[in-house]
Amino acid sequence: MPDKFKFVENGSITTPAGFSAAGITCGLKKSGNPDMALIVSDVPAAFSGAFTICKFAAAPVQLCKERVLKQDKIRAVIINSGNANACTGKQGYEDAVKMCGLTAAGLSISPDEVMVSSTGRIGVHMPMNIISAGIDKAAKALDPDGGITAAKAIMTTDTVPKYAAVSVELSGGVVSIGGITKGAGMIDPNITVPHATMLAYVTTDADIDNKLLAEFLGKGAEYSFNRINIDGDMSTNDSLIIMANGVSGVKVTPGSEDAEIFYQALQQLLQELAKKMVRDGEGVTKFVTVNVSGAASAADARMCAEAVCNSLLCKTAWFGCDPNWGRVIAAIGYSGADFKPENVKLDYDDMPVVRDGQDAGTPEAVLAQLLPKGEFTVSIDLGAGNYDYQMWTNDVSYEYVKINAEYHT
């Protein structure tokens, strides 16, 4: 099936036909960097969204959740960075509504056809005079090749823009799926359908209805963004929005072979975007894949993986290139997973670290040669069943502390 789709060089949200985007500077960031993006479909698009489960969900998240449940089609998404519009009460919600209205006016569409996202500092009201001028500027800057500029405009502590696209061969013709995302810190997403920050936007020119999009997005998020962990903190603003405008004329119907091919391509795209976030995590020097197998249940496999990925002791050891496997074993032990210690195996890449719950005998000096690599895999076999779980995480460095100690948008 992978031969049915391929990644597009420099692809982004404007790779699919019938989409345009813009990334501009409106003045929210003291740095003067781009801070507002706009994504627009030429025609009304089916859509779905997945959002943070944080009880302090930001005003834009609250508004978008409502629209996913009520709206049939949308045309645009307006996004600002530099201000999260979170913990801003009734005024914050009204500002999110107003952002949609201003965007709609600039595009001559209905306000209900606009979704909104924000990222940045929590607890600060939106400077609506700046926002209003920025939306007008963004609407005038729309470009069919503007996907990468939009990716740059949604960045906060990110060091590089994150974008990707795939071309998918279906029975009715070729369609494209494109996406952009941002996020380098405050990353431990748990997003649901429908219901810093990770913001992600996906477009496709395939013809797919809202129900099937929601199904695909829910599964895709579970196997991508919900499998990453940078620092164990869930944001108030996490949002994943997908739009399908059907401009290609290629219809994807439930239960068809095309539907399965499309979903697999979408999942690969979402995973690529998610991994880009981990690799660009704040202060990150290591990209670590954590594989758990042999768990007694799916819940146990997940708990084990999350415990290791959330462990500051593991993350700091990886940064220091210290093969201190005792920290990994300890995290496994307190994870809550059900297993017998004497059955546990642990490998770093293909090197045995623990066998039968004890030192496997690989010299520490040999293990230490693995950790300076930019990427490696930690494989855990609990020896308790047939369930597995995979996550992607990173180390924690001095730079992470510096960035977050000094962060002020």
SS3 of residue 23 by DSSP:
strand
Which residue of the set 157, 197, 203, 204 is catalytic? Answer: 197
Q: Which residues pair with 45 in a beta bridge?
A: 74
Task: Give which of 101, 40, 51, 47 is closest to 73, Cα–Cα.
Answer: 47
Residue 250 phi, psi (nearest 5): -100, 115
Structure token pair of residue 68 = 């996913």
Q: Are 36 and 225 in contact (CB under 8 A)?
A: no
Distance separating alpha carbons of residues 62 and 263, to the nearest angstrom = 27
E strand or H helix that includes residue 216: helix 210-222
CB neighbours of 88 closer than 8 A, spacing ≥ 6? 58, 59, 95, 123, 124, 125, 126
Task: Give which of 298, 302, 300, 328 is closest to 313, Cα–Cα.
Answer: 328
Distance separating alpha carbons of residues 309 and 290, to the nearest angstrom = 8
Distance separating alpha carbons of residues 355 and 63, to the nearest angstrom = 51
Distance separating alpha carbons of residues 396 and 406, to the nearest angstrom = 16
Residue 393 phi, psi (nearest 5): -145, -160
Structure token pair of residue 71 = 């709206």
DSSP string, 319-338: HTT---HHHHHHHHHHS---
Question: Active-site residue 14, yes or no?
Answer: no
E strand or H helix that includes residue 388: strand 387-394
Secondary structure letter of residue 225 according to DSSP: G
Active site residues: 197
